[in-house]
Structure 1
Amino acid sequence: MLLHLFVFFILIFQCWKPVSSLSNETDRLSLIKFKESIYKDPYRIMDSWNSSTHFCDWHGISCSHKHHRVTHLILKRYQLSGTISPFIGNLSFLRIIDLQNNNFHGEIPKDLGRLFRLEILHLDNNTLTGEFPINVTSCSNLEYLAFGGNHLIGKIPMEIGSLHKLEVLYLLQNNFTGQIPTSLWNITSLIFLSLDANNLEGTIPIEIGQLKNMTDFEVGGNKLSGTIPFALYNLSSLAYIILVGNHFNGRLPANMFSNLPNLQLLALGGNQFSGRIPTSIVNATMLVGISIGGNNFAGQIPNLGKMHDLSILELSDNSLGSNSSKDWEFLNSLSNCSKLERLYLLQNNFGGHLPKTIGNLSTKITHLDLSQNQICGRIPMELGNLINLMLLDIQMNYFSDMIPNTFGKFHNLQYLSLMGNKLSGEIIHFIGNLTQLFHLDLSYNMLEEKVPASIGNCESLQYLDLSQNNFRGAIPIQLFTLSTLSILLNLSHNTFGGDVPNEFGNLKNIGKLDVSHNQFSGQIPQTIGDCQSLESLFLQGNFFQETIPISLASLKGLRYLDLSQNNLSGTIPKGLQDVASLEYLNVSFNMLEGEVPSKGVFQNESAISLVGNNKLCGGISKLELPPCPTKSNGQRKHQNLKLVVSICCVIAFILLVVVGIYYGRKISKKSSSSSPTIDMIYKVSYQSLHNATNGFSVDKLIGSGSFGSVYKGSLESQEVVAIKVINLQIRGAHKSFVAECNALRNAKHRNLVQIITCCSSIDYKGNEFKALVYEYMVNGNLENWLHPTTENPNHQRLLLLDQIINILMDIVSALNYLHYEYGQPLIHCDLKPSNVLLDDNMVAHLSDFGLASLLSIVSVVSNETSSTLGIKGTIGYIPPEYGMGSEVSMQGDMYSFGILTLEMLTKKRPTEDIFNGGHNLQTYVKVAFPDKLLEVVSPTILPQELEHIVGVSGDISENMMQIHPNVEKCLHSLFKIGLTCSMESPHERMSAGDVIKELNSIKSFFPF
């Protein structure tokens, strides 16, 4: 008997073993198929998936101990690109699939429906397309289903109700339409439901009350409507209610908060709710954030004193308050909220005097916005107790009297707006302490006396508006030391006087300068021409004398110029007609004389104003000015004599040149005509470059381009440089070398890479050798920052939104210089991330001018020459008209800039595999523009200050954007720049000057 049993177990074991091995082999082969569907692996995660190790030991794989079958597939946040292989459906023991935060595209395979053991399916934050895979609803053991942050379309299927064990459903940031399926309300196990940022319609039914275990209900950013059923407010487990950005209406029930003891976040903003805020909110003691702005709430704010964890209170754009001191009674209770950081009460009906109890608020508060209300009286000194304020906005109220000297305690303040009140007195007692300010607006008040020299301590100031006050005296010299002033300096409508100092020219980055309607006198300083970023200059209504400075003609980005109502004399500088960007010129009511130019802005009579200058003549006929007087006979004879002398000089010069060329050719048989630039740049020897790079060692190689390789080296002077060695075996390389020398020999701009020297020599083997030596840029190129890999040194560092704005400003400033200020317009022709270098301060420098063309030369080449130029640029960044034979143009550079802008915001290359079949980077963004930009923007670029609100998982980020409306506004403007610049028609694209103006505008409201 024992023998029979032994034989029986032997047979059983032999039968089982091959079945198990077969199953294991199926798992291994399925994983290999999964790996084959991945074509990009920047962190080389899949290298461990090889035959030398058992598949259970591969990275991201876990197996069961008993059968050695795959149970976990976890490869999140590795930037993997590819499709999800259908062979994944053969891993029948899988319990967890986590592929979130990668670049998987294509449809979700239906084969996932065969994974009956599957419990967690994490595919969020990829670029998956197609409809919701109905087959997945067959995975009856699913507890966690996350498809958020993809591009899924269609309706959420009714079959989803069959997932009776489902606890988390995460479908936000897709393009789902239709109504929320009624079967969803039958999944009583649901704890977390996020359907934010879709296009869902319909109402919330009473059946929502069946979800007794739900803690998170997030449906913001849809098209849902109707009233909220009271059944929702009976779900005592709720911690997050997010309904922002829908069409909900009605009043909130008085006892709404009676059964919500665990509520932490209430976000109802951007709907049509009305009535009062229920007093029962006192029961929601766990609240951390309240955001109900953009509704029609009225009445008083109830007692919030029991909310000890409250961090954000956002009540803006309602009808709260009654324009009386009673409106502030809630402040007494709010002083108990020791964790309060942000308080937004703007655009309501709060009135009366702001009480001293404002100073009892938490010292952790960083943002306080009381603007556009009816508040009157003095600003309480106690406001200075809020020493950690970063933003204080009380503009458009009725505050009066002096600004308290306690404002000097605001050492962290970055944004201060007091405009549109009735404030008086001086600012000397506090202004010098606000060293972190980047935005200061004191306009439209009654402030007086002098602007103190201590304003020079505000070394971060970008925006300063002191207009419409009673300031007097001279402008302090210290104001002109603020090189950060880039957006606005407005001193208009005061009684400033005296001469404007030559230090005016130190404001090299200023975009708009307004000192109109003061009492300035003397000459307009010639140094105004150093303010090369100026777009708007308003000097009218003063006592300026003498002539209009000719340096104004060097401001190639100038759009608006008003010099009216002064005592200016002499002629209008003829160079102003060459400022192509100039749209408006007013020189009326001066004492100007002489001929009016007839080109540029002077061709449009509606764009200029010349009245009140009785001695002007000429110009276009529509101006109806008298003709300029003809010259006398004596003058003519003198002119003729000068002409004869000039002609003789020219003939003599030509003869000298001919003789020189003749003897020059005798001396040297080798013509240098093919390289006209090389001799104009100081050259370095081949030996020096060979020594600087240890013989052009591989470990000195830092990059390669179309026509050569770039090495890091140290010259004899110990200067660290980048050395571009031209590969003369490549067709066009010699031409590229000459083009780059021509382009950079005279170019001087802070955002262009500077050529130090060049080498045109023979190497040690007797071969021709050519190289260019540039400044070395510590932070490499933009390509490595946008698309980091383990091979480049910045693969762990990310660009944030403020850095992106600055880099875009640097790039377009360089383009503006090349297009309009270089002399002849210079077209770069190959703008892309790898040609943008970043120095140690993250300032961007445009590089690689090997394809650059002078526009004036291109426009006159013969047809034969044009046909040999070929398509200039890099695939993905080349404007469409170049492919149809059009000549290079400034608009072509702006197209490349537009693509680069979209790439920086989305972290998507224009050549990615997902862009095919007529789908490209522009259409990818257009689908989301303007209402769903958060679907395409890279989450890594958002400001760090939003981290406690904008979670990496996306839990509440998109719905809380209204707390930071300027961030959303900023993204909208940046994407608009990218889309407009990359329009198919060249004539519809923005110019570099237009982009600079738009970026300056963005900087003015960007809050971080």
Structure 2
Amino acid sequence: MTNLNELILSGNQLSGQIPSSIGNCIVLQKLLLDKNSFEGSIPESLGNIKGLNILNLTANKLSGRIPDAIGSIRDLQQLYLANNSFLGSLPAVLKNLSSLSKLDVSFNNLQGEVPDGGVFRNITAIAIAGNTNLCGGAPQLHLAPCSTSTSSKNKRKRTKSLVISLATTGAILLSLLVIFLVWILCKKLKQSQKTVVQYSVAEEHYERIPYHALLRGTNGFSEVNLLGRGSYGAVYKCILDNEERALAVKVFNTGQSRYSKSFEVECEAMRRIRHRSLIKIITCCSSFNNHGQEFKALLFEFMPNGNLDGWLHPKSQEPTTSNTLSLSQRLDIAIDIVDAVEYLHSYCQPLIIHCDLKPSNILLAEDMSARVGDFGISRILQENTSKVMQNSYSTIGIRGSIGYVAPEYGEGSAVSTQGDIYSLGIMLLELFTGRSPIDDMFGNSLDLHNFVEDALPDRTLEIADPTIWLHIETKDNVTSSRIQECLVSVLRLGISCSKTQPRERTSIRDVAVEMHAIRDAYLLFAG
């Protein structure tokens, strides 16, 4: 029962040992086994259940030491171990559990010094009565002082700690001085660099979210909160209880096995990556809905400006500066996408092939910076990666979307980084021409790649997205010449990436270097 959230077996006549396989219930939040006759020790495997909130083993016949593994259950809020036969000392790791607000270890055979941090500082939060050999701790606990040898040892520790503290303080002051000087230097350089926006939501810790929380946060998955649909399922805007900021919930269509595998693959990929230009996963939900059907969803940071496809191909809107992209914005978006792909192919460990790069999978933040998303059919390049992850889509056919998928995939070739480069090249051509590769004008021998290649360089301004000019205040000969020069460079880069033969495509590192150079040259002209 790996998707079980609560297991309540209190007040029965269960006996024997608590099975170690309980650690397989990794989404368990509440485990109540009190008032039974369980024997033996607490299984170490409980440490695998990171999201466990409440653990109650009171009034059993358990013995042995309280395992340090409990200290790795980072979300533990209440721990009840009273009326058993536990031996040894209280694990010091329990004081590191920042969420622990209730600890009851009464009437056991515990001994030694009570730790002095975390939950042990709050005497109303702990119950230790009936352990006559415990000592020390907070004065309000009224325990006997620990032995002289222990006190002397503690005194030596305090003396040593004082020396270390003084040395550490000096080092910290020196570090602060260095940091201050570096900060001043960075402030001077900041004017010539693009600010990297930090999203606090990406750094915060979120517990695994239950189904009913998502149901409330999306108002019953209403159409009002629907952000988009795809073959995988749908994406909704969600505001969780006690939260002000919005999140995006990607709900998978679990009616078909391919989409259940897509959930697994995306979870596997997203937990491995961390880059400012990749969409940040917050948490997940793997449960059952109100009808008893399997429910799987991922929560991401919310991108208020939608996806790139909506900006390149707006529906029924008069083009204005507020709903179209300037040349500078397009260059910045291209940089973000290229940097993300370079990270996936060159720096991520293990390397990841996205397999579905296209404008609808490029999301735009409030400041119009881009995030690459949707890793549902990605491929993780690692020899020891499970076969489920390596081959989850091996029977589906062509990996990718029509118009963006590399031609060699249609011939049965294995996925490769060069396939992503092809998709990236087509996307660059679309970004600066405003023409989709599946536009009605393309067919037979004409495609977006050939259309652009035939037009360069003489008809560059003719094939460029005309909405770019809405953002140009002065359209003189010098301005037009510089814009044409920039467009020629970036479109040629797109052509070099989208060549039919994989070996002829530009490497991602060269693409990144060239793309940054193109953007910097244009910014130098634009001021």
Q: So what's the TM-score if we normalise by structure 1?
A: 0.32
Q: 1:173 — aligned with what?
A: none
Whether 1:969 and 2:485 are equivalent positions in the alignment is yes
The residue type paired with residue 749 of structure 1 is H
In the aligned structure 2, how far is the partner of 1:738 from the partner of 1:902? 32
Change (3 A) 1:976 1:742: same
From 1000, 1004, 1008, give the equivalent of 2:516: 1000
1:775 paired residue among 301, 317, 328: 301
Q: 1:920 to 1:720 in 2, by over 3 A?
A: same
Cα separation, partners in 2 of 1:476 and 1:776, compared to 1, 3 Å: closer
Equivalent in the alignment of 1:844: 370
Q: Distance in 2 between matches of 1:794 and 1:774?
A: 30
CA distance in 2, matches of 1:783, 1:685: 32
Distance (Å, rounded) in 2 between the aligned partners of 1:772 and 1:963: 46
Residue of structure 1 aligned with 2:503, choices 982, 987, 990: 987
State the shift of 1:929 in Å.
1.2
* Residue identity opposite 1:905 in structure 2: F
Mapped to 1, the partners of 2:281 and 2:317 lie a distance apart of: 27
Contact 1:740–1:851 (8 Å) recurs in 2: yes
Of 185, 189, 211, the match for 1:479: 185
Shift of 1:964: 4.7
Separation in structure 2 between the aligned mates of residue 980 and residue 1005 of structure 1, nearest angstrom: 20
Instruction: Give how far 1:864 is off.
Output: 9.0
Counterpart Cα distance in 2 of 1:974 and 1:821: 24
Aligned partner of 1:551 in structure 2 is none
Distance 1:795 1:697, change over 3 A: farther
1:476, CA displacement in angstroms? 7.7
Aligned equivalents of 1:792 and 1:683: distance in 2? Answer: 43
8 Å Cα contact 1:825-1:854 kept in structure 2 = yes
CA contact (8 A) 1:855 1:889 kept: no
Distance 1:788 1:865 in 2: 34
Deviation of the 1:486 alpha carbon? 4.5
Question: What is the aligned counterpart of 2:418 among 868, 873, 891?
Answer: 891
Q: Distance in 2 between matches of 1:733 and 1:1005?
A: 44
Partners of 1:931 and 1:911 in 2: CA distance? 24
- 1:808 counterpart residue number: 334
CA distance in 1, matches of 2:213, 2:182: 50
Gaps of 5+ in 1: 1-474, 488-506, 510-679, 951-959
The 8 Å contact of residues 809 and 999 in structure 1, kept in 2 or not, is answered as: yes
* Structure 2 residue aligned with 1:614: none
Contact 2:403 2:437 in 1 (8 A): yes
Q: Which runs of 5+ in 2 are unaligned?
A: 1-180, 198-204
Q: Contact 2:422–2:505 at 8 Å: present in 1 too?
A: yes
Distance 1:694 1:508 in 2: 34
| Distance of 1:840 and 1:701 partners within structure 2 | 19
Q: Secondary structure at the match of 1:837?
A: strand
1:717 matched to which residue of 2? 242
CA 1:766 to 1:866, structure 2 compared with 1: closer, same or farther past 3 Å? closer
Q: For 1:928, give the aligned amino acid.
A: A
CA contact (8 A) 2:261 2:392 kept: no
Question: Contact conserved, 1:966 with 1:1005, CA < 8 A, in 2?
Answer: no
Report the Cα offset of residue 683 of structure 1. 1.4
Paired residue type of 2:263: F
The answer on 1:759 being equivalent to 2:285 is: yes
Give the superposition deviation at 1:989.
Answer: 1.3
Correspondence for 2:455 = 928
In 1: Cα distance, 2:303 partner to 2:213 partner = 20
User: 1:739 and 2:445 equivalent?
Assistant: no
Give the superposition deviation at 1:746.
2.6
Query: Secondary structure at the residue paired with 2:431?
Result: helix
Asked if the contact 1:681–1:758 (Cα under 8 Å) also holds between the matched residues in 2, the reply is no
What residue is the counterpart of 2:52 in the other structure?
none
Deviation digits for residues 643-674 of structure 1 (CA, Å, limit 9, x no counterpart): xxxxxxxxxxxxxxxxxxxxxxxxxxxxxxxx
| 1:690 aligned partner, one-letter code | L
Query: Contact 1:725–1:770 at 8 Å: present in 2 too?
Result: yes
Q: 2: CA distance between counterparts of 1:793 and 1:776?
A: 25
1:785 Cα offset (Å)? 0.2
TM-score of the two chains, using structure 2 as the length reference? 0.59
Corresponding residue number in structure 2 for 1:454: none
The residue type equivalent to 2:442 in the other structure is F
Structure 1 CA distance for aligned equivalents of residues 384 and 438 of structure 2: 28
Asked whether 1:882 is paired with 2:422, we answer no
Provide the alpha-carbon RMSD of the alignment.
Answer: 3.0
Equivalence for 1:909: 436
Equivalent of residue 697 in structure 1, options 204, 222, 225:
222
Kept after mapping to 2: 8 A contact 1:826/1:855: yes
Return the offset for 1:706. 2.0
Q: Is the 8 A contact 2:497 2:505 kept in 1?
A: yes
The code of the aligned residue for 2:223 comes to V
Distance 1:696 1:730, change over 3 A: same
Higher relative contact order (CA 8 A, sep 6+): 2
CA separation of 1:793 and 1:965: change in aligned 2, threshold 3 A: closer
Matched with 1:75 is: none
Report the 3-state secondary structure (helix = DSSP H, G, I; strand = E; otherwise coil) of the residue aligned with 1:927: helix
Contact kept in structure 2, 1:828 and 1:853, CA below 8 Å: yes
Distance 2:412 2:384 in 1: 13
Matches within 5 A, 1:309-388: none
Identical pairs, percent: 41
Contact persistence 1:828–1:849 (CA under 8 A): yes
Given the superposition, is the C-alpha separation of residues 860 and 987 from structure 1 closer, same or farther in structure 2, using an over 3 Å criterion?
farther
8 Å contact kept, 1:784–1:794: no
Residue 203 (structure 1) aligns with? none
Does the 8 Å contact 1:802/1:943 carry over to 2?
Answer: no
- In the alignment, the residues of structure 2 paired with residue 860 and residue 691 of structure 1 have an alpha-carbon distance, to the nearest angstrom, of 35
Size of the aligned set, in residue pairs, is: 335
- For residues 781 and 865 of structure 1, the distance between their equivalents in structure 2, rounded to whole angstroms, comes to 26
The Cα offsets for residues 542-562 of structure 1, whole Å up to 9 and x where unpaired, read as: xxxxxxxxxxxxxxxxxxxxx
Question: CA distance change for structure 1 residues 878 and 1003 in 2, over 3 Å: closer, same or farther?
Answer: same
Partner of 1:900: 427
Q: Does the CA contact (< 8 Å) of 1:681 and 1:745 recur in 2?
A: no
Q: Does 1:919 align with 2:440?
A: no
* Matches of 1:963 and 1:722, distance apart in 2: 40
The worse-fitting range, judged by mean Cα deviation, of 872-881 and 990-999 is 990-999
Q: Output the CA distance in 2 between the equivalents of 1:996 and 1:901.
A: 13
List per-residue Cα deviations over 1:180-219 (Å, max 9, x = no partner): xxxxxxxxxxxxxxxxxxxxxxxxxxxxxxxxxxxxxxxx
AA at the equivalent of 1:995: V
Separation of aligned partners in 2, 1:747 and 1:477:
28
| Equivalent residue letter for 1:478 | I
| Cα distance in 2 for residues equivalent to 1:984 and 1:876 | 13
Structure 1 residues 807 and 864: alpha-carbon distance in aligned structure 2, compared to 1, 3 A threshold:
closer
Decide whether the 8 Å contact of 1:788 with 1:796 is kept in 2. Answer: no
Q: CA deviation at 1:942?
A: 3.5
User: Shift of the alpha carbon at 1:931?
Assistant: 2.3
Q: CA contact under 8 A between 2:362 and 2:372: conserved in structure 1? A: yes
* Inter-CA distance 777–799: structure 2 relative to 1 (3 Å threshold): same
C-alpha offsets along residues 375-416 of structure 1, whole Å, 9 cap, x if unaligned? Answer: xxxxxxxxxxxxxxxxxxxxxxxxxxxxxxxxxxxxxxxxxx
- Conserved 8 A contact 2:321-2:471: no
Matches within 5 A, 1:269-280: none
Mapping 1:418-457, distance limit 5 Å: none
- From the superposition, tell whether residues 795 and 485 of structure 1 become closer, same or farther in structure 2 (CA, over 3 Å): closer
Alignment counterpart, residue 208 of structure 2, candidates 672, 680, 683 = 683
* Equivalence map 1:397-796=2 (5 Å): 478-481=184-187, 482-483=189-190, 485-486=192-193, 682-718=207-243, 719-790=245-316
